[in-house]
Amino acid sequence: MTIPLSRLIATTVFSVLAFAPVSGMAKTYKIGVTPGPHAETLEFVKGIAADNGLDIEILEFSDYVQPNAALAAGDLDGNSFQHEPYLDAQIEDRGYEITNVALTITFPMGVYSERVGSLDELDDGARVGIPNDPTNGGRALLLLESQGLIELADGVGLKATPLDVVDNPKKIKLVELDAAQLPRSLSDLDAAAVNGNYAQSAGMDPVEDSIAIEDPKGPYANILVVRTEDKDEDWVKTLIDSYHSPEVKDFVQETFENSVVVAW
């Protein structure tokens, strides 16, 4: 029996439409993270995203520089590792056309020490490590100021640098190191201000092990970032909805307790 051409065309079109993926979600999307809570949380999100028709692949980076460079270059479709002040600094310095599209999680920075049990016990001239990137370095300085260890110049805000220290009663020496290296450098320092994700990765509990900790309700909530041209794509909306689900909120609370909290 010969099938009429019109029926054959109609059948073919129906088959294509019936099995076509949702627009903008026809591939596996690569999302960059740093190890620890960002990676663990996104791994949980990945399952929810799959149920929503979105396939994501997670790539881990050991530093803060490469995820944005890879995203801007097109090697990633998104990343989840940074807060807004860091993103703003990267865009200003490097001209990246990348955009914050959603809040994710936040974990407060803490000061850790293998030598003292409080900042009051630091000797004069103590060596205190802080991150060497401008944004997180400023964050560490604000934390030290909030604890009365130093005083910063009026108005410097989130962009504080060691040059903005106007009072330093203990004459502490600020040692600037890569953020990821600080936990491993504690044996060589009297104390160090460590980002929460690197503290977690090193097995340190920000609540139980730190000798000082910042207020979690600050400007340092972490964010999901994509290329600016993609910010309104369907897959981005699906990823955000998957991340902001009640299941993810429960996962973060049960897994990290009070050391990591959702920011949305």
Mean pLDDT, rounded, for 152-173 = 96
Q: Could you give the domains of the chain? A: 27-107+219-262 (3.40.190.10), 110-213 (3.40.190.10)
Provide the pLDDT for residue 206. Answer: 86
- Supply the pTM of this predicted model: 0.70
pLDDT tens readout for residues 72-119: 999 999 999 999 989 998 999 999 999 999 999 988 899 999 999 999
Answer yes or no: is pLDDT of 15 > 50.
Answer: no
DSSP characters over 56-116: EEEEE-SSSSHHHHHHHHTS-SEEEEEEHHHHHHHHHHH---EEEEEE-EE---EEE-SS-
Provide the pLDDT for residue 4.
Answer: 53
DSSP conformational letter for 218: S
